Amino acid sequence: MDIKRTKIVDIFDPNLIGQKVCVKGWVRTRRGNKNVQFVALNDGSTIKNIQIVIDLSKFDEETLKPITTGSSLHVEGMLVASQGKGQTSEIQAETIEIYGTADTESYPLQKKGHTLEFLREKAHLRPRTNTFGAVLRVRSALAFAIHKFFNERGFFYLHTPLITASDCEGAGAMFQVTTLNLNELPIDEATGKVDYTQDFFGKQTSLTVSGQLEGELGATALGAIYTFGPTFRAENSNTPRHLAEFWMIEPEVAFNDITDNMDLAEAFVKYCIKYALDNCRDDIEFLSQMYDKELITRLNFVLENSFVRLPYTEGIKILQESGKKFEFPVSWGIDLQSEHERYLVEQHFKRPVILTDYPKEIKAFYMKLNDDGKTVRAMDVLFPNIGEIIGGSEREENYDKLMQRIEELHIPMKDMWWYLDTRRFGTVPHSGFGLGFERLVLFVTGMTNIRDVIPFPRTPKNAEF
């Protein structure tokens, strides 16, 4: 009778001691002597390996020869309490089936230290390492926590389009989508420009930079929605904090003002961090030990402290009076750099900070204008080590004021009539924010490069795998 496979994450249950078990996975290491061999097996379900004890008197040497680092096995045997250090139980192998071999000369993940830069070149294999197995399990748990948080609060999950004709951010850094032959583009004789009426959608379209505008449509019908999906920015930013393809979470809530928005953002990030600590403790402890000894302290720091809420103008004053020499000079009206944001969080307040009421010139057209006529009801949530992790605002619900901002900024709105309709028909105060998912994963895992928290990073000149 076949024994049902037990995942390695479940194999350490004390109740299984003394039972015959079946495990399947990939070999991490093999060691031993002429009498007994020890194989560390991992199936990706946990950071922990299960030790397979092979009595060489029971197995043919030729059968065991292909068992090398990276090979895959099906093992059945008795689970017993371990006498060695580092594990509570081990399996005394009775039968071994080799599913796949891994040539020691060509398999790149041999038992030795590999740099993160090297592993980025092996992105198709790096999830098999301890580091990336841990990161991807944390990422998965955080994705589940996001849905759980909003579901528990009555939000509806809205799928916004990936292909769009609108540029939410107005920055123009968008990837164009077309079925036209790029070597023989049709030209409109009247304008001398590309004739997009012949394209698939009959107009110029791009990959989305944000689902926010469509999210506002959902919020002004369903009350409270969130989006969670891929977004694309064609910025030529080769930095440890930027990706061309990344995931965004964007809640939007009708009748919420900026204070409600700040409350939601603080509750949301604390919920996600706590969920990861509660459900991925082994992985986070491993990452802390390997990469960032202060990781768990920093995560608890966010959970245990209420966030400071500070107007931008006061933040600028604090920075100017700090006596610190910043690389980027500080003055009212600048868009704060990471060094400024981290100073406020890590050195001045020693708490996460929500900065509000930014100058209108450095924020998007849809943000609600304050009574001073100079600032908007924007908010950025600032974290230690990261800087800005969330950006959001109360939206301008007044049609005339919104149109005035659109005209001031010369934003082409000919294809945005549908967005303006939310201000024409039953407009309401509403607010929302955006959180780059990879920034959250970066913070929770303690990794320092955003390329290491997404399975297959897309960056300038890099679209491998």
Q: Is the pLDDT of residue 391 over 90?
A: yes
pLDDT bracket for residue 171 (50, 70, 90): low
Least reliable range by pLDDT among 128-137, 347-356, 377-386, 415-424: 415-424
Average pLDDT for the chain: 94
CA-based angle 12:15:19, to the nearest 5? 90
CATH class of the structural domain 14-100: mainly beta
- Identity of the amino acid at 104: T
Share of the chain above pLDDT 90, in %: 88
Residue 208: HSE in the Cβ half-sphere, 13 Å Cα cutoff: 20
- DSSP conformational letter for 462: B
CA distance 333 to 330: 9
pLDDT at 263: 98
127-174+209-452 CATH choice from 3.40.50.11260, 3.40.50.620, 3.30.930.10, 3.40.50.2300: 3.30.930.10
pLDDT in tens, 295-337: 999 999 999 999 999 999 999 999 999 999 999 999 999 999 9
pLDDT at 39: 97
Q: Are strands 72-81 and 245-254 parallel, antiparallel or unpaired?
A: unpaired
The beta strand positions in 108-243, using DSSP E, are 156-157, 163-164, 176-177, 205-207, 224-232
CA-wise closest residue to 353 among 326, 325, 379, 321:
379
pLDDT at 170: 58
CA-wise closest residue to 381 among 259, 267, 262:
262
Q: DSSP letters along 39-76, please? A: EEEE-SSSSPPEEEEEEGGGS-HHHHTT--TT-EEEEE
Write down the domain spans for the chain: 14-100, 127-174+209-452
pLDDT at 143: 98
Query: At a CB cut-off of 8 Å and minimum separation 6, what does 260 contact?
Result: 253, 431
CA distance 406 to 422: 15
Instruction: Report whether 345 contacts 383 (CB < 8 A).
Output: yes
Quick count: other Cβ atoms within 10 Å of Cβ 359? Answer: 17
pLDDT in tens, 198-231: 999 999 999 999 999 999 999 999 999 999 999 9
CA distance 194 to 245: 27
